[in-house]
Structure 1
Amino acid sequence: MNSITCPKCGKECDKLFDSVCRDCFFETFKLIELPLVLHVRICSSCGAYFHRSRWEDIGNIEEVVLKAVENALFIHNEAGDVELYLEPREVTPYMYRVRAEVDAIVREEPVHAEAETEVRVQRIACDMCSRESGGYFEAIIQIRATGRFPTEEEKKCCSAIAREAMKSMKKKGDRLAFISECQEQKEGVDLYMGSMNASRQVCRAIISELGGSFSESPTLVGMKDGKNLYRITFAMRLPEFRPGDVIKFRGRIIQIRSSGKKVNGISLEDGSRFISTPEEIKGAEKIANIRDMVYTVLVSIEENAILVLDPETYETVAIKKPMSFSAEAGDEIPVLKTEYGIFALANFELLREK
């Protein structure tokens, strides 16, 4: 093979790279470029990283530092089969030194380059944490119950569901998914929410767990960049009747099993299944709760009836025998005494409610 003389340095070589030998070409070729100093902004509260005009959740501070170096590192577009190695070293909690090494193939030749930068960390509050601490909210969820006040248990459950939903939404990227304030009211709970979309998810999660329904009502609060700004009030209504409630509806005594879009229950008189809607049973009379049951003595069993002692007067009373009844005379059995009579509870009913 004929040798070629490099016009720049005069060396003999096998081929030229842009009219010069390999050594002369790579003497001026910059495989990588990295600024001597980089500045990163990290939220002191949530750890988010400010990048390209937006806050991003990345991870711990070392991951943020490495991400900033990767974003700032320039690698020549002729480089192929690039292998990058970054070595961070903490100097202070606010300063890191990062060494970058790159191996690549350029014009079929292996090339190695190194660079080092200083990363200075600025800790500030991100826009979301500033809003959260400042009481910012886009929506209000008013948790109430139809025809009654929510119980303390229900209020705590709704608040817990809301917090869990916020964690899930924040992990999915909704940085406005926070509860800025929780106000206890006699008639329920008011949750002040940072995100309208997250508020809808909370309402759906509560309905899935406890049943009920919700409606939305927007209120104009101002304008920004020529667009109307609204706050949404979510009127969350828990079911009128809870699982375990016993109601009188159209002459039937019904024990409520579940209440959502559909209300499911069982007749305490004949054990038949009951299915309805919250709208249909609205205003039904609540006469007891399954927790009001007491134990009394089973005197005797007949074909379709049983004789029991009235738990208050101790008189012998004949009542309808429930389905799946397996007790024997002399046993103590659970019963529910109401103004409409005494109802025996089958053992499986009692266990289910416990």
Structure 2
Amino acid sequence: MVSEPMNSTICPKCGNGTPRLFQGRCKSCFLENFTLAEIAPVLHAKICSTCGARNIRNRWVNEGNLESIIIQTAEDALLVHEMAGDIEIYIEPRAQTPYIYKVHIEVDAMVLDEIFHQSLDTEIRVVRESCDMCSRISGGYFEAIMQIRASKRIPSQEEMAECITIANGVLERLRNKGDRLAFISSSLDIKEGVDLYVGSSNAARHICREINSQLGGTFTESASLQGRKEGKNVYRITFSLRLPEFMPHDIIEHKGRVIEIRKFGKSVTGTDVETGARFTGTFDELDGATLLANRKDLGTTMLVAIENDDLLVLDPDTYETVTIRKPVMFNAEAGTEIPVVRTEKGLLAVADPSR
């Protein structure tokens, strides 16, 4: 009789010796009924009929297009044996109707130093319903009001369109991070600007900061008590956003200087029209400045002659020949029309930055 090695164990199923047991059996017996992967024959994918978000355990998330959601639904429901390693999964969805997908799955994995392969099939049924965000939007839900205005002027349609574009970009980024209240439920255009009704005060605050960062200006916020819910006070926040008094390419007169505004952000940048020097300041430093014109609205006059650092031009009001200072970076020829602006110092030529 041949005795088993000291470290050998008897398999209770086949009676053979084995160095170790796998779930109470030797390796050969364990592998006889081994199932690498399992999946339910029918699955359901809940998808918002409006925005396409997917419901996962009562939580709505954005997961891309319908095919991506079908693949993710199958992958989430697939059960792979806990002993499997180096797992590779291939999922192929095939649409039968807009609401039914047949899904074929191939699984490869390493188990007990052996490569296993298994094919599976399931059916995924698409259930369309309205998500929490779209339900709130359709119901006109909002927690904050954004009042977009401009200081001492009426904002242009172009500015309002740019503000809306910025707002939509901010909301998309917040939604991608999981904020389901990052939406505009409605808007109201008025003469002085636009009011946006935003799903959350957090989203509205992010929009205000981004608009100020790109276009300049300031904003304030105030809260008003709307009632109580579940024993807690419910507030609605009003954000008063003010765009700057001046716009890019406005030409202003400020403390004896004529400045063309170039860009707004956390500060104001511009160019001295006479000297070409760079101007940088704060919004408060422009308090009391006078708007002369925007570059696109500048009048023109005839350039008669150029004499060293002087220009001889026709005064557009009196048609008399007058001598004015040639600005830095000025590039034009006698006999052509040049843009000019009237200041406290008199007529001033404006250099064309494109030349």
Q: Which residue of 2 aligns with 1:53?
A: 58
Q: Which residue of 1 aligns with 2:219?
A: 214
Matches within 5 A, 1:1-354: 8=13, 17=21, 24-108=29-113, 111-113=116-118, 115-302=120-307, 304-327=309-332, 329-338=334-343, 341-348=346-353, 351=354
Cα distance in 1 for residues equivalent to 2:332 and 2:70: 71
Contact 2:37 2:80 in 1 (8 A): yes
Q: What are the Cα deviations for residues 154-176 of structure 1, in whole angstroms up to 9, with x where unaligned?
A: 11221222223333333343333
Give the 3 Å change call, closer, same or farther, for CA 117–41 of structure 1 in structure 2: same
SS in 2 for 1:182: strand
Q: Which runs of 5+ in 2 are unaligned?
A: none
Cα distance in 1 for residues equivalent to 2:73 and 2:249: 57
Contact 2:292 2:341 in 1 (8 A): no
Under a length normalisation based on structure 1, what TM-score does the superposition of the two structures give? 0.82
Q: What are the Cα deviations for residues 63-113 of structure 1, in whole angstroms up to 9, with x where unaligned?
A: 323322332233332333444444444443323343445444444455555
Q: CA deviation at 1:131?
A: 1.2
Under a length normalisation based on structure 2, what TM-score does the superposition of the two structures give? 0.82
Q: Tell me how many residue pairs correspond in the alignment.
A: 349
Cα distance in 2 for residues equivalent to 1:153 and 1:13: 83
Q: What are the Cα deviations for residues 253-272 of structure 1, in whole angstroms up to 9, with x where unaligned?
A: 33333334333334445555
SS in 1 for 2:83: coil
Give the 3 Å change call, closer, same or farther, for CA 291–83 of structure 1 in structure 2: closer
Equivalent AA in structure 2 for residue 236 of structure 1: L
Could you say what the CA RMSD is over the residues aligned between the two structures, in angstroms?
3.3
Contact 1:139 1:194 in 2 (8 A): yes
Give the 3 Å change call, closer, same or farther, for CA 51–308 of structure 1 in structure 2: same
Cα distance in 2 for residues equivalent to 1:316 and 1:8: 115
SS in 1 for 2:284: coil
